[in-house]
Structure 1
Amino acid sequence: MYIYEYVEVGLSNFLSTNAHRSIINDYASKGWRYVGSVPNRTGGYGQLKSNDLVFERYIEESSTS
Structure 2
Amino acid sequence: MYEYKYVDLLSEGVSASRFEEHRAIIDKYAAQGWRYVGYLPTKISMGGVLCNIDLIFERKAEERD
Shorter-chain TM-score category? 0.7 to 0.9
Alignment of 1:1-65 (within 5 A): 1-12=1-12, 15=18, 17=20, 19-63=21-65
What TM-score results when the alignment is normalised by the length of structure 1? 0.82
Identify unmatched segments of 5+ residues in structure 1. none
Bigger Cα Rg = 1
What TM-score results when the alignment is normalised by the length of structure 2? 0.82
Identify unmatched segments of 5+ residues in structure 2. none
Q: Which runs of 4+ in 1 moved over 6 A?
A: none
Structure having the higher helix fraction is: 1
Q: Determine what percentage of the aligned residue pairs are the same residue.
A: 44
Q: Structure 1 16/3 Cα, relative in aligned 2: closer, same or farther at 3 Å?
A: closer
What is the alpha-carbon distance in structure 2 between the residues aligned to residue 45 and residue 56 of structure 1? 32
Aligned pairs, how many? 62
CA RMSD, Structure 1 to Structure 2 (Å): 1.7
Question: 1:46 is paired with a residue of what secondary structure?
Answer: coil
